[in-house]
Amino acid sequence: INHIVHNGGLYKRPFNEAFEETPMLVAVLTYVGYGVLTLFGYLRDFMRQWKIEKCQNATEREEQKDFVPLYQDFENFYNRNLYMRIRDSWNRPICSVPGAKVDMMERVSHDYNWTFTYTGRVIKGIINMGSYNYLGFAQKEGTCQEAAAKVLSQYGAGVCSTRQEMGNLDKHEELEKLVARFLGVESAMTYGMGFATNSMNIPALVGKGCLILSDELNHASLVLGARLSGATIRIFKHNNMQSLEKLLKDAIVHGQPRTRRPWKKILILVEGIYSMEGSIVRLPEVIALKKKYKSYLYLDEAHSIGALGPSGRGVVDYFGLNPEDVDVMMGTFTKSFGAAGGYIGGKKELIDYLRTYSHSAVYATSMSPPVVEQIITSMKCIMGEDGTTVGKARVQQLAENTRYFRRRLKEMGFIIYGNEDSPVVPLMLYMPAKIGAFGREMLKRNIGVVVVGFPATPIIESRARFCLSAAHTKEMLDT
């Protein structure tokens, strides 16, 4: 279904998103596939219970058989019977830097994936379509690496303290000023772990008596942070502005559920690019709604910072909007900058408040200095401040790669989800057998991809996810 833009006046560029519905025949066959696997699962469990087949899972000891069981063995059903059959497509050990090409250690399994043995051979030069390496900064040569090595010899690898005690280095202050300048906000604060940024800061911003409106497909870190905060959570349909508006209207008209008092705060949680769908948030409409109903916006740009926009500044830049409109801009350095950690940017009062009240500022150790230096160098490179045009070239290369890859895949006839411009490309496979087969065939052709199936996605929407990078050349994409 191609989404027709209702508020077309707000968008300065075409917004093409497509989530094609599953063809009916494919859906029926997928259910048949899962049904057959379930029946075989019950059969194997039956044989395992009657000792016809050996049980290779962990079992209780003989003397503990009469105790109340610790785990329900049905909960392990899917894991035992479906996941074990195709387990070799996940958790693959790699032994080189995950750039455009990666080396992987080869594993074989003689007992149908219950145990793995390493053959000792290393498969070299696998084209890496699974790392979030959007601008190609995950490399072992180059200016970033030299700068990081220099800082490592100067500052050491560990900080051994939290931000509020002895862990606030001058490098952190420099990084925060740089991030604030990059985003176009007043000030920013950085944390050592991207997941922890979300889950530890949302409880500091909202509490009981506040309302959180979060998208259907928000990441686990946002969901965890929302639940930890104790606020009421309402979910609106993915990227659906009518659903969001209806929820906002209901919230303001009816107030809190029992007492009818007005909500203390309304926070809208959205992401820049959704990593499993490849769709981009309809930011102009969200900002218009936010202003109309006077609520706050929390934008998680984990995948979109550095990857979208003509100068790589993220989804705000992509739509050409004012970064002051977004109240809390959050992002991670893991994806495009080739480092680790997260940041939150916004008004100065907000960041000063977070410096004192955020859980990770008080309890979590701060970022390690070589990582900080990597971010500083890569960010300066993207902004063009180090004097070369390498940053701009990378951003443009990524955009070209995205368009070319999507166009070619569509021509080949695959069903691709998501926006035309997002570097995350989910290719729909539907049947459970195809998930395993696709992963293995891709490895045979020296391409590494990430496949996901039920229950991480809805039952008829299992997919393989390609993450494009500026480091991919056209020949690599053509293979």
Instruction: Give the interface with other proteins as residue ranges (CB under 8 A).
Output: 21-22, 24, 27-28, 30-32, 35, 38, 72, 74-79, 83, 214, 216-218, 220, 223, 235, 276-277, 452, 454-460
- Return the beta strands (E) in 23-96 as ranges: none
- Residue 213's beta-bridge partner residues? 234, 268
Q: What is the per-residue DSSP string for 432-444?
A: HHHHHHHHHHHHH
Shortest gap between Cβ of 22 and other proteins (angstroms)? 6
Shortest gap between Cβ of 78 and other proteins (angstroms)? 4
Do 329 and 344 touch, CB atoms closer than 8 A?
A: yes
Shortest gap between Cβ of 217 and other proteins (angstroms)? 5
Shortest gap between Cβ of 91 and other proteins (angstroms)? 11
- Residue 204's beta-bridge partner residues? none
Shortest gap between Cβ of 31 and other proteins (angstroms)? 4
Smaller CB distance to other proteins: residue 233 or 476?
A: 233
Shortest gap between Cβ of 385 and other proteins (angstroms)? 37
Least Cα distance to 289 among 6, 42, 87 occurs for 6
Least Cα distance to 266 among 254, 281, 284, 280 occurs for 254
Do 308 and 314 touch, CB atoms closer than 8 A?
A: yes
Smaller CB distance to other proteins: residue 11 or 77?
A: 77
Does the CA dihedral 466-90-127-311 come out positive or negative?
A: positive
Smaller CB distance to other proteins: residue 73 or 400?
A: 73
Task: Please report, for residues 1, 276, 427, the alpha-carbon distance to residue 413 in angstroms, rounded to integers and kept in the order given.
Answer: 16, 20, 11
Shortest gap between Cβ of 295 and other proteins (angstroms)? 19
- Count of CB atoms within 10 A of residue 106's CB? 15
Shortest gap between Cβ of 454 and other proteins (angstroms)? 7
Shortest gap between Cβ of 238 and other proteins (angstroms)? 8
Q: How far apart are the first and last CA of the chain?
A: 29
Smaller CB distance to other proteins: residue 31 or 353?
A: 31
Shortest gap between Cβ of 29 and other proteins (angstroms)? 9
Phi/psi zone of residue 255: left (φ > 0), alpha (ψ -120 to 50 degrees), beta? left
What is the Rg, in whole angstroms, of the alpha carbon atoms belonging to the chain?
A: 24
Strands 447-448 and 117-128: parallel
Smaller CB distance to other proteins: residue 91 or 479?
A: 91
Smaller CB distance to other proteins: residue 394 or 434?
A: 434
**DSSP state at residue 268:** E
Smaller CB distance to other proteins: residue 55 or 456?
A: 456
All residues at 6 or more sequence positions from 157 whose CB lies less than 8 Å from its CB, including other chains = 368, 369, 370
What is the spatial distance between Cα 335 and Cα 312, in angstroms, rounded to a whole number?
13
Do 346 and 356 touch, CB atoms closer than 8 A?
A: no
Smaller CB distance to other proteins: residue 76 or 365?
A: 76
Shortest gap between Cβ of 75 and other proteins (angstroms)? 5
What is the spatial distance between Cα 70 and Cα 60, in angstroms, rounded to a whole number?
9
Least Cα distance to 182 among 299, 300, 319, 329 occurs for 329
Tokens of 270: 């959205």
What is the spatial distance between Cα 80 and Cα 100, in angstroms, rounded to a whole number?
34
Smaller CB distance to other proteins: residue 66 or 75?
A: 75
Smaller CB distance to other proteins: residue 30 or 145?
A: 30
Smaller CB distance to other proteins: residue 38 or 396?
A: 38
Q: Is 273 exposed, middle or buried (0-12, 13-18, 19+ CB in 10 A)?
A: buried
Shortest gap between Cβ of 133 and other proteins (angstroms)? 20
Q: What is the per-residue DSSP string for 347-360?
A: -HHHHHHHHHH-HH
- Residue 126's beta-bridge partner residues? 102
What is the spatial distance between Cα 244 and Cα 262, in angstroms, rounded to a whole number?
18
Smaller CB distance to other proteins: residue 30 or 133?
A: 30
